[in-house]
Structure 1
């Protein structure tokens, strides 16, 4: 039976406004009670949801469905039946928007539908959401008088088993759920080393490396369990770790199954596969695959999910290497055109004279060397799908005008063609440049800018979300070890702390490149500070070189830079400021020329 917990008198926790559900709830995904089982199952699968609330026509929640229930309905061959026949009210409560998180914790459920005064669904909460919210709350609190009370209630209200250790591996918190599973009381566990309490625990390794692990298999009392291990950082040092024992969860179970399959394949085929025999898989990217739980990353993913449901044109901005194409692919995956193709176009890599034929295609005989039968352009190839215009700021002005016409009329004509084609493709653009300043400078059309910038998703640089770095390092070290068939490697917490201090001008692309070098070149299983590149270690010069060598090298580099700047200025003068012709004269790509103009701060000549 649904426990209908509506708002009562607020408990005084000192900062009730910060603990309000209104601040922490997430936007709801829901289905109506007349939705078919098939549609509900597809929505659960596509969005990797653990449950979906069901509402009536007045948006009032009536219960929920889960993947397990949907599987039973599909096995009963009831794919077209209404979900109202399978609604459940187990492990589910209705709470008022003005309630406190602390009030919700007192309920013995894991899923919560948040309603307004008219009992209409306006938000969702789960136990995991609440744990994250309260962790963030305690982290930001200026006054600490209630933190111990809140932490105790979090641990005892969590459905999962939770153990907290300090920097020496001594158990400091051990909740009742973990106690029930292990048979060790909290009183007996607290104060002992974690290896004496939990079988096969890797929390000491987490303390050494500072790297989080999620959804990994650990055998506890002979049972294969799913665990998360999360380091606790303070002042660039690991001061503890949290171990979370997951008793159930659809996503985690699928990951276990995949790992077991992979292990089985390795046992049956111990000989490494060659590059030519590796199976090529279709590249699919979802927003959930974008690594990071920081507030800025979570906000961007939330915005991307929201705009994906519409056909609005999206402009993704951010520095090079921040993962703009990953967001574009994630939006495509959640959009109505996800079954269509995703066509990526790098506008900075297409020669100017080929732009039109690449984007719009050409008819047979349109020019010398034209392919027999003609060739469809990128817009035609993206029919019923998504076309991703990367580095849109590099597009020539002439092509900008033609692109604007396509966006307005939804029609294209091939080069040398006699008739137009209607197009039905979603457009997502991306750039690492400031288009607004380019508009002011006359390098980008104002009307095209406003046509593209319906919804902007700015991706923050890695230096502004350093809390995502441990998860990124953990993921890519494991991924790169598998790719290069290397033994598993880990990074020390001291080395990881330097990773978090470094500014990463190349963002995630630079981080992956650095890790790739370390995986290939470091023979040890542990990557320490002494293995890191000089830039990350923060050293101004290599210790093995004498001062006069550094001076000579610096002088040579300075002379080389000055000569390069002079050559670029001469080329720009000779071509009357035409950057395309200047790049051709210098024998470099136009994008490279723009980068060097920015590097040497070459203003108008």
Structure 2
């Protein structure tokens, strides 16, 4: 507000000034505005033409924090607005003429900024009004669609493109937003589309769409598939003839999160420290443990893994420490070595360590502290000589606080803690892993695959993969099994795609309740927004980001749908 007001004025406080005195002040300060303050009221001193007497025009006093809309309303009834600071002291004034000049200047600035932004970006961006006339056509749009700006601006976009090829018209029709949708703009061209409706006071006045040409990316994806197939076969042949000194080579992926994780494991593997591997189920924790073992130990050193969640509690001690002959009923008459003894001079992997019973945690702690243990039914103390790697998909520190895991054992195991990132945090690896398993499984079942479409790959990239790499491999195997004539089908994906979700959400439309299509669409939209607001605890900024719309669009939709 302060940037828009005129501060060039004179304020008179003395009510004892005569008309002649006021005439002199007005004449002297011309063309400055002169105001007279009487109690809490302020008047503008002016005269219509030279030689006429002074007129007292009543002025409205408002705060400098007032909205422009409020100022415009006040200027309907008052010729001049006095703007005051927090202490109610006048700091400037505004008239309709002054405000018009300021708003026009601001409009020119904003228009220039927007024009420069649109001329700077490489992406294709198109804006149409409610009548489908093109208002904005960027250089990127010229390059993507080979239509010059001067040819299309101001004309209906339907004069240049077929109706069924204009996703923008759907947004203009029902106000729905689109994010990262593949669209066939022309017979030989595929674009990735984002579109949003433009609302002004709940009235849709147009639509905006941005397109990224991904035709070349689709071609590259096919080329990558063919190259991956050749590389896969080559790796098989090379692995038969050579060996590598890097055991992490078997862990596939080149994303930065994965490479940082591998570097941490390599540093930890250069020491004898206990390692705690933290990660969700299916991320390949055992694979990392084996790689560390390969670096630390000699070629013939044993690697013994025990899943703490798969052993009945009653048998846990005998599995870990072994037992002597005749130790208990049903025991092997020759006795049995435990995992600890089998791991001598090698590595013991305690997988799912959070599932270890509390009474066994005490004995495991003694083993790690003193490197000594007794077999079940044995009287002779044995030496333990191995390195420990523990793995878990649980929050052990929270379990310690809840009394479900011993604190001393936690800190004994957690000398070096490394988290393996889940697949959803390294989506770059999804493409490489998908192609690798696709070739591996197709060879396994002797079922050649021509490739995987960009559409299917996009769905797989958007999926959260709660089961991580294990789930990915199973999904790829399923796709190969159900493939026909070497083609991977979208319908064979075992999880719900965006299209399926939309179909389920639109089941409400099948209800015969006499409502219009627009009413049904608004009900579905309201349900989606309410669910997202619930997920974000009412945080509208995060909600808008998750829905891939602007905050302004979200506020407009909330108001239109009656959501408080």
The TM-score normalised by the length of structure 2 is: 0.48
Larger radius of gyration: 2
